[in-house]
Amino acid sequence: MVTEGHYAAVKSALQANPSVGLVFGQIEPFGSASPKQLEHERRYFAEAARKAASRRRFGARLAYVGSMLFDNALLVCSASVIRRECVSRIGGFDPAIRLMEDADFHVRAMRECGALFLDRTAIRYRVGSPSLMHSPERTEEQARQELQGRRQMQANYRQKYGALEFYSLALFTRTVLRAF
């Protein structure tokens, strides 16, 4: 559920930042999952918001991309608004990626079009159980597909932007960004 005033805030942000293609905000989990699962989701998305806010100081592209490639995802699809031109430019979702396809989509949008984090709740995010994204008791198959999706996303990025950018970004994310 989109929070009141969020679309107005996104519209203002896009108008004020015409070179940015993606705007996203905080995620507030709720739902019928177990209390343990809900608490896990709340901690995960609170940490994602904290990281997104700290990455802003590094610009609209690479710090967000590095976080998405080499750390946990900062957002879910419903928390982002992307300019139509950006979606056309990146070509939409990669159907070859089963899990992590949304992270791959956002990485490509962030890299090509830039991103802006709004430090406000964008959506209330319904969490059920089991959760495909953060199940506390993930199956081996789910873990395998997630790892496969992450590896495919990373391979695609490395192929498109080169090994130098890929490994520099990995080093930057795992050293400098970890300090924030």
Domain ranges of the chain: 6-179
> For 43-82, how does the pLDDT look when each residue is reduced to its tens digit (9 = 90+)?
999 999 999 999 999 988 999 999 999 999 999 999 999 9
> For 5-14, how does the pLDDT look when each residue is reduced to its tens digit (9 = 90+)?
999 999 999 9
The backbone region for 114, taken as left when phi is positive above 0, alpha when psi lies in -120 to 50, beta otherwise, is left
* Average pLDDT of every residue of the chain: 93
> For 85-117, how does the pLDDT look when each residue is reduced to its tens digit (9 = 90+)?
999 999 999 999 988 999 999 999 999 999 999
Give helix then strand counts, H and E, for the chain. 7, 3
Q: Which residue has the higher pLDDT, 131 or 59?
A: 59
For residues 115 and 56, give the distance between their C-alpha atoms in angstroms, rounded to a whole number. Answer: 9
Helix axes 62-70, 35-55, angle to 10 degrees: 150
For residue 138, pLDDT beyond 70: yes
pLDDT for position 5: 98
